[in-house]
Every structure is written in C-alpha cells, then in structure tokens.
Amino acid sequence: MLISPLQDHEDTEHTAAERAAAAARSTWVSVAVNLLLTAVQIVVGILSKSQGLVADGVHSLSDLVADFVVLLANRHAQKDADADHPYGHQRFETAASLALGLLLLGVGLGMLWAALAKVQSPHAVPQVHAVALWVAGVALVAKELLFRYMLAVAKRVKSSMLVANAWHARSDAASSLVVGIGIAGNLAGYPLLDPIAALIVGLMVARMGWGFAWDALHDLMDRAADEQEVQAIRQTLLETPGVRGVHDVRTRKMGDLMLVDAHLEVDANLSVEQGHDIAVEARRRVLQRHRVLNLMTHIDPWHRPDLDHAPLARVP
C-alpha cells in the first residue's frame, strides 16, 4: 500500500517562504559588498601594480556572478510542484551549488595560470605601491564580516546553498589575508611574494570549487542522507503507535530536504483502513520532526512471534 504525497503542507510552505526571503536578503547584501570591493580592488590593483590584489578583485567579481546564480536558484527552487516536477523544484538549489563550484574551479585555474606566468619571470615583477596593502586590509575585514553574517543566516534557515555561498565569502577573506601578506612582502623587498600570493589564492579557490561541485554532483545522483539522520527517521517511525517494525529505509537528497521510502510492519490482523491510518500518522510525524519532503510507505504484515509456529486449524 502506497501513501501519496500531501499537497500544500502549511508548515513546509511557511519554512520555504522564510528561507526564500532570507536567501534573497543576505544575497543582496553580498551583491552590494562585492560590487564595491570588485571595483576598488581591480582599479587599485592595476594602478598599484599588484597582481595579488587584481586576483583578489577577480575573485570578488566571481562572487557577484555567484550571487546572481543564488538569486536565480532561490527564485526557481520555490516553485510549486507541477506535472513535470511532481516533487517540486528543490534540486534547483543543488544545481546552483554545482554551478557555483564549477565557477570557483574555473576562476581558481585562471588565477593559477596567470600567477605561474609571473613566478616564472621574477625579473618582470614590479614594485607594489603601499596603497594596495591598505585596500587588502579593508577587503579582509569586509569579507570576514560578510561571511559571518551570511553563515548565520544560512544556519538559521538550514540552506546548504546559502552555506556554500557563505563559505565562498570566507574563501575571499582568506585570499585577502594571503594577498595582504604577499603585498607586505613585496614592499619589504621581496617582489616575488605578490605573484606567489596570487598563486596561493588560485589554489584555494580551485580546491573549494572542486569540493562544492563534487558534493552537489553526488546529491544530484540521489546520494542518501547521513546515517545519523536515517537512524533518527527510523526511530520516529518505530515510535508511531501501531508500527511493529521498520526495514528498508531509503533516503535521497532533494535540495535541502529528503525523500524517504520505508517498509512499515503492522499487525497482520488489522484492516486495510487501520494499516492506512498508521502509515498516515507515521508520515505526519516524520514530516513534522525531520527535513523530509515526502515519505512513501509500504505496509508489511507482522505476525506475533508466539504464533509463528502454531499449528494450523483443521478444516472440518
């Protein structure tokens, strides 16, 4: 017996609306910060002859593109289920995380290519102007504050896409720190440290991009939830009145939610209607306590252990 999805779950709609609003608000803040930093870092980097600062500005520019990807994904992920997408559009967020990862990977590889060219020609590395160090310091503080704000919002609404975007901002803060050290070294008489800083930033960005893309790819391939969450769902099912046993619990990621299949064992002497009511209650409890989009149940008959080997009644 299969239990079909319930439509227009009031709590789920409220949570989705809250997450959408929080995502839009935090992302627009990120857009404003990154727009300002991109302009200042690239312009000052070119004028002060700092490749590291220009690389950091390009990184901030990639954030702008990433922010608009998040806004687009946030808009489409909130669409209601339709004939083509009966489970909704939550995986649009996972696809956005994949796009963010690939974007970071591409930007990082580009930084590596440019930095390696400079490192191989140390005599061509120019002296950096001191103003570049001040801009790198301001960028570091701004990006760290932006990261803390975005991560707090992401954790509050429990959005993996927003967590990915927040850590993207943290990678910017780390890169600004490295760039600041490289510029300081250049000013201290070690000009090669500036392109080396750009090289390190490229490695950091590429590594983070690979991680995001790889995780998102696995989620798009129906990766299961972690074992701790699966056991928690199993326990919720076992605590449902009328459920005698649970087996074959399977999960798959659907954006930040999960789709769950489970076999419930109920007393074999119950009617079909009673078994159905138990399954409905089990589903209600799971959706209420866990980040589950839908629970599909199959009812199996359960026999009392003391009757397993009882002799069959003789037919007169």
Q: pLDDT value at position 14?
A: 45
CA distance 260 to 279: 13
Alpha helices in the chain (DSSP H): 10-48, 51-77, 91-119, 131-157, 160-187, 193-220, 227-238, 272-289
CA-based diameter of the chain, in Å?
Answer: 106
Low-confidence ranges of the chain (pLDDT < 50): 1-14, 310-316
**Cβ 209 vs Cβ 165: under 8 Å:** no
DSSP string, 186-250: HHTT-TTHHHHHHHHHHHHHHHHHHHHHHHHHHHHTTPPPPHHHHHHHHHHHHTSTT--EEEEEE
Q: pLDDT value at position 307?
A: 56
Structure confidence by residue, pLDDT tens digits, 31-75? 888 889 888 988 998 888 887 888 778 777 777 776 677 667 666
Burial zone of 135 (CB within 10 Å; 0-12 exposed, 13-18 middle, 19+ buried): buried
Burial zone of 131 (CB within 10 Å; 0-12 exposed, 13-18 middle, 19+ buried): middle
CA distance 7 to 4: 9
The CA-based angle 96-101-107, given to 5 degrees, is 125
Predicted model pTM: 0.61
End-to-end CA separation in angstroms for the chain: 34
Domains within the chain, CATH numbers bracketed: 10-220 (1.20.1510.10), 227-303 (3.30.70.1350)
Angle, helices 272-289 vs 227-238, to 10°: value is 140
CA distance 242 to 231: 19
Q: pLDDT value at position 5?
A: 45
Taking the mean position of all CA atoms in its chain, how far away is CA 234? 25
Length of the chain: 316
CA distance 186 to 133: 10
Nearest to 196 by CA among 110, 126, 119, 114: 119
Q: pLDDT value at position 240?
A: 92
Integer-rounded Cα radius of gyration of the chain = 27
Q: pLDDT value at position 177?
A: 84
Beta-sheet strand order (sheet of 257-267): 245-254, 257-267, 292-302
